[in-house]
Amino acid sequence: MKLNAFGDVCLRTLMLLGARPDRQMTGRDIADAVGTPYNHVSKAILELKRRGALDVTRGRNGGARITEAGLALSIGQLLRDLDPQADIVDCTGQDSPNGRACPLLKGCRLRRSLARAREAFYAELDGTTVADLTGPGPSPVPVTMLPMPPLPAP
Ligand code: SF4
């Protein structure tokens, strides 16, 4: 299994903001801090706002801040929702250049086993929240060590 790029950007954004829930950051500051192009982060912010995980304000002093719902967000559920792939392997050939389905598709048991393994992967992450990854714990949160822009003057 491999996380899709969009899910990864969403998680980086959530962890960065979750490490400092009091902090509001602009999309550009987030992009710099998580090492991801601004347009990718911008889409992630919109998606996370739509889910109620971020409060986003526009304007000169605007930016994104994590919400209580964002801190409580299940990592497994988020990644499951954002994964456009129904299957681990392209059994039906819909993504292949020739569009041909696997000749073993009919009656293949491996396909069902892979689907269960995929669900088990997400289920393992269902009980982990953003707060679990960013709150007090036995090891420091790596994102808190990244350079952070200063808070705006009140
Ligand atoms: S062998 Fe089974 S799991 Fe693999 S591509 Fe063919 S149908 Fe899918």
Q: Per residue of the chain (154 residues), give pLDDT as tens.
A: 778 889 999 999 999 999 999 999 999 999 999 999 999 999 999 999 999 999 999 988 899 999 999 999 999 999 999 987 767 888 988 877 888 999 999 989 999 999 999 999 999 999 999 999 998 776 666 665 555 555 555 5
Nearest CA-CA partner of 51 in 14, 15, 26, 83: 14
Residue 143 is predicted with a pLDDT of 60
Which residue has a Cα nearest atom 5 of ligand 1? 91
| Ligand 1 pocket mutation pick from 89, 92, 94, 116 by most atoms within 8 angstroms of CB | 89
Residue type, 56: V
Output the pLDDT for position 2.
76
According to the CATH classification, is domain 5-137 in 1.10.10.10? yes
Q: Cβ(126)–Cβ(76) under 8 Å?
A: yes
Query: What is the reported pLDDT for 147?
Result: 54
> What does the block give as tokens for 104?
């073993």
| Residue 55, beta-bridge partner list | 65
Q: Among residues 24, 64, 10, which one has the least CA distance to residue 149? A: 24
Determine whether the shortest distance from the Cβ of 51 to ligand 1 is under 6 A: no
Question: Which secondary structure element, helix H or strand E, spans residue 79, and what is its range?
Answer: helix 75-82
Question: What is the residue with the minimal CA distance to atom 8 of ligand 1?
Answer: 91
End-to-end CA distance of the chain: 45
The span from the CA of 113 to the CA of 120, in Å, is 10
